[in-house]
Amino acid sequence: MFRTCILVLLLILLPLNPLIADTRQSKAEAVTSALAWLSLVDSGEYEDSWNTSATYFKAAVTADQWQQTLTAVRKPLGALNSRAVKSAAFHTSLPGAPDGEYVVIQFSTSFANKASATETVTPVKEKDGTWRVTGYYIQ
Over the chain, what HEC string results?
CHHHHHHHHHHHHCCHHHHHHHHHHHHHHHHHHHHHHHHHHHCCCHHHHHHCCCHHHHHHCCHHHHHHHHHHHCHHHCCEEEEEEEEEEEECCCCCCCCCCEEEEEEEEEECCEEEEEEEEEEEECCCCCEEEEEEEEC
Residue 15 lies in a domain: no
User: Residue 18: its pLDDT value, please?
Assistant: 43
* Predicted structure pTM score: 0.83
Residue 130 lies in a domain: yes
User: Residue 50: its pLDDT value, please?
Assistant: 98
Q: pLDDT category, 112, cuts 50, 70, 90?
A: very high
Mean pLDDT of 56-84: 96
Strand partners, 132: 124
- Count of CB atoms within 10 A of residue 94's CB? 15
Residue 19 lies in a domain: no
Domain count of the fold of the chain: 1
- Owning domain of residue 80: 25-138
User: Residue 81: its pLDDT value, please?
Assistant: 98
Per the prediction, the chain carries an average pLDDT of 87
Q: What is the pLDDT of residues 7-44, one digit of tens each?
A: 333 344 444 444 444 677 889 999 999 999 999 999 99
Q: What is the CATH number of the domain that holds 100?
A: 3.10.450.100
User: Residue 6: its pLDDT value, please?
Assistant: 39
Residue 58 lies in a domain: yes
Residue 131 lies in a domain: yes
User: Residue 10: its pLDDT value, please?
Assistant: 39
User: Residue 13: its pLDDT value, please?
Assistant: 47
pLDDT surpassing 90 at residue 2? no
Residue 11 lies in a domain: no
Angle in degrees, CA 18, 22, 27, rounded to 5: 150
